[in-house]
Structure 1
Amino acid sequence: MVIKPKFRGFICTTAHPAGCAHHVRQQIDYVKGQKPVQGPKNVLVVGASTGYGLASRITATFGSGARTIGVFFERPAANNRTATAGWYNTAAFEKEASEAGYYAKSINGDAFSNEIKQQTIDLIKQDLGQVDLVVYSLASPKRVDPETGEVYSSVIKPVGASYSNKTVDFHSAAVSDITIEPAAEQEIEHTIKVMGGEDWELWMDALKQAGVLAEGAVTVAYSYIGPEITHSIYKEGTIGLAKDHLEASAGRIREQLHDLAGRAFISVNKALVTQSSSAIPVVPLYISLLYKVMKEKNLHEGCIEQMYRLFAERLYADSTPVDDRGRIRIDDWEMREDVQQEVLALWERVDSENIKSISDIEGFRSEFFNLFGFEFPEIPYEAEAEPDVVIPSIPAAE
């Protein structure tokens, strides 16, 4: 079939297997072009199929020669419908890893469930023995509590008061004003349940109890803070409260790992185009302006550059620099005073008439399509493509 991008709101409902494979190879080539990382050897990535999780897996494998297990919830192709981008990404990653002689296996299912945790533990015991790095990079709009069966849904809303600011439809480049009503108390609680650190703690507890964490094991989860422009919808909104819970979880996990001489970190990362960030009001406009400024200053990084820097210059450096709250900050270039001052000045000016000249809205849009394997000039999109792609380590029935 000829595969074209199709949309429902801010979600692309199709993905291109050859485009996704090309995107994965680009990231692999970047890491292979850097100095090797004296890093982990047996790695579990929870949320391994897209974005920072995928980039972490690529960096661990091709940067430090690690054996990796990836956990995610993706959909294979079926009934003339393409697979999800994460499915194609993982198929391409496993193929590249295998050809390079690296172990890579994947588990597709609900990472919040006890069953997937146990399946992962069994695979670690069978193939790796123990893991020395656990990356927690799970992004999901919903979570089913593994004990009660209750379904929690997250929301992206301010807390305490309504919030008004500029936003952009990145497909049309139309800048408009938006007002978002504050979250109800139950919505706040649900968002913390989905996006907070409870499941990360459950994973680490299960892994430790099963004896599959190595002495000195490291675990890291990803967060974002951002500038004051986005604070009401992000840092001080429902997502921010969930991230506060994630930070508190890091402290509890540190105590849990004390007898293993293990370490737990929150890595505060840069704002990037992801499936999640594209759906957050205000944020795509901020990212479009940020990209313009950072590219002009030669400071721009994508997921793979950020994760390589995290591994090489933070997690596996001689010492791991952290801020006053114990967080790793690889958003340091984004939050530079000169960068933020220029972004804020552009924010005051930006409108539908000038957005294409004073922002990188085209770069944002292009990167969004890239997430799903589209808009790579090297890929012949008019040609027929086979949507049914197999992930080598996952049985076809899944």
Structure 2
Amino acid sequence: MMTHVQLTEKITGNVARSVNPLGLRAMMTQQMTAITNQGTYPGPRHVLVLGGSSSYGLASRLTATFGAGADTLSVGYDRPPQGESLGSAGWWNQVYFKQAAEQAGHIARNLNADVFSPATKRAVIEEIQTHFGGAIDLLVYSIAAPKRVNPVNPTEVWRSVIKPLGRAVTDATLDLEHEKLVSTTVPPATATELAATIHVMGGEDWELWVHALQAAGVLAPQFKTVLYSYEGPTATAPIYHDGTLGQAKRAAEASAQRLQTLLAPSGGEALISVNRSVTTKASMVIPGFSRYCMALYQVEQATGGHEVPVQQIDRLMRQMIYGDHRELDTRGRLRPDAAELSPAVQAQVMQLLPQITPATFTTDLPGYQQLRREFRQLNGFAVPGVTNTLADGDLQGLTY
């Protein structure tokens, strides 16, 4: 007798608490198709993605494999299925990517481990030596984490915070659970909180990875590494660019300069990519960010130019990292966010933002509808053609 399980979507605040694996499988197919429709490009062959289970990291694996034909190794830190729980979306993204990549004839290895741990670095080096011909030619660093254990003193745990510096900031933030816009005041970070955020979200661990891989002799000639960063518009500057996260990103840029000096003699590169605003699990907890995105998405619906992570990262890889159409700023950073931050787009966004307030917000806003749909699809819901019903056999034969 066929058994069916009805899946219920659950959102607490701005955090998803449920998952639809069938929707995630459909989203994986959709993203693969978007890449293959662009054709192939000469790119990396053996790729390590740190944070490869969702968003920009997953997009990097997709374009590397289905655009450039690369073998990939991903390190994620996701909740596996256990008992009646289906686990996290990132777990299923890794499973479905592995299945699709192997069916296409590519190596796809997944490690469910803490990216910050020295033990994880040792395990990755062994994987590269065993399964990837002894060397990688691209490392993607796509990590957004709430905490990091001090690798020198394991009793110390650094916790990142999203706070302004110097003064409190008040902004309107979307509450997805209750579908309303609420005013939120965020107090300024302490010096200790700022330092901890830089430890977690800066480039310190990125440097440790590159040094460990180089010392183990597993970096190919002309090896490249890229860290994904964010600048943001004037509208979000008080809480982001001028706050704790912005300071962490400045620290990452200093790391890039040191790594560039290290890698240049062998023809390597250390790159910072300042990416555009997109809907991710991490971005939805940034105060004020969702309100800005609603305005941006509404403008882009009228003018075009909207990109989800896989579209942006595929463009970044094809045109900038491995192509000859690099858009660089005066600090040498790649700028795939240039269209979003253009004066023409930002002028329209700034006209629209004052109209989106807690008092005037409605769920009919086109930007809100798109934002909510993209957020739900991160967990496999609201995917066209996919039901919320699991049947016997739907999840059989799948391996991590």
Give the TM bin, normalised by the shorter chain. Answer: over 0.9
Q: Percent identity?
A: 39
Change over 3 Å in CA distance of 1:231–1:42 after alignment to 2: same
- Residue 138 of structure 1 corresponds to 143
Can you list the C-alpha shifts for 1:94-138, whole angstroms capped at 9, x where unaligned?
111111111111111011001111110011011211111100001
Change over 3 Å in CA distance of 1:259–1:66 after alignment to 2: same
Match of 2:55 among 47, 51, 57: 51
Can you list the C-alpha shifts for 1:13-54, whole angstroms capped at 9, x where unaligned?
221111111111111110010031211111110110000000
Aligned-residue Cα RMSD (Å) equals 1.6
Match of 1:380 among 369, 381, 387: 387
How far apart, CA to CA, are the structure 2 residues paired with 1:375 and 1:385?
A: 22
How far apart, CA to CA, are the structure 2 residues paired with 1:308 and 1:273?
A: 17
SS in 2 for 1:329: coil
Q: Could you tell which deviates more after superposition, 301-310 or 13-22?
A: 13-22
How far apart, CA to CA, are the structure 2 residues paired with 1:355 and 1:55?
A: 32
Amino acid at match of 1:66: A
- Does structure 2 conserve the Cα–Cα contact (< 8 Å) formed by 1:49 and 1:89? yes
Runs of 5+ in structure 2 lacking a partner? none
- Residue 107 of structure 2 corresponds to 103
Amino acid at match of 1:71: V
- Residue 25 of structure 1 corresponds to 29
- Does structure 2 conserve the Cα–Cα contact (< 8 Å) formed by 1:77 and 1:388? no
How far apart, CA to CA, are the structure 2 residues paired with 1:138 and 1:386?
A: 34
Relative to the length of structure 2, the TM-score reads: 0.95
How far is 1:6 from its partner?
Answer: 1.7
- Does structure 2 conserve the Cα–Cα contact (< 8 Å) formed by 1:2 and 1:385? no
How far is 1:171 from its partner?
Answer: 4.0
- Residue 323 of structure 2 corresponds to 317
How far apart, CA to CA, are the structure 2 residues paired with 1:374 and 1:356?
A: 18
- Does structure 1 conserve the Cα–Cα contact (< 8 Å) formed by 2:138 and 2:224? yes
Change over 3 Å in CA distance of 1:109–1:390 after alignment to 2: farther
Match of 1:9 among 9, 13, 16: 13
Relative to the length of structure 1, the TM-score reads: 0.95
Can you list the C-alpha shifts for 1:197-231, whole angstroms capped at 9, x where unaligned?
10000000001111111110110000111111100
How far apart, CA to CA, are the structure 1 residues paired with 2:35 and 2:100?
A: 13
Change over 3 Å in CA distance of 1:390–1:144 after alignment to 2: farther
How far apart, CA to CA, are the structure 1 residues paired with 2:79 and 2:11?
A: 17
Can you list the C-alpha shifts for 1:262-299, whole angstroms capped at 9, x where unaligned?
00111000101100111111001101110111121111
- Residue 122 of structure 1 corresponds to 126
Can you list the C-alpha shifts for 1:316-354, whole angstroms capped at 9, x where unaligned?
113634211010000011101111001100011223435
Change over 3 Å in CA distance of 1:169–1:196 after alignment to 2: same
- Does structure 2 conserve the Cα–Cα contact (< 8 Å) formed by 1:153 and 1:190? yes
- Does structure 2 conserve the Cα–Cα contact (< 8 Å) formed by 1:346 and 1:358? no
Given the alignment of the two structures, is residue 367 of structure 1 paired with residue 374 of structure 2, yes or no? yes
Q: Could you tell which deviates more after superposition, 190-199 or 379-388?
A: 379-388
How far apart, CA to CA, are the structure 1 residues paired with 2:171 and 2:340?
A: 21
- Does structure 1 conserve the Cα–Cα contact (< 8 Å) formed by 2:49 and 2:141? yes
Given the alignment of the two structures, is residue 162 of structure 1 paired with residue 171 of structure 2, yes or no? no
- Does structure 1 conserve the Cα–Cα contact (< 8 Å) formed by 2:13 and 2:177? no
Runs of 5+ in structure 1 lacking a partner? none
How far is 1:384 from its partner?
Answer: 4.1
Q: Could you tell which deviates more after superposition, 231-240 or 157-166?
A: 157-166
How far is 1:357 from its partner?
Answer: 5.1
- Does structure 1 conserve the Cα–Cα contact (< 8 Å) formed by 2:139 and 2:224? yes
- Residue 185 of structure 2 corresponds to 179
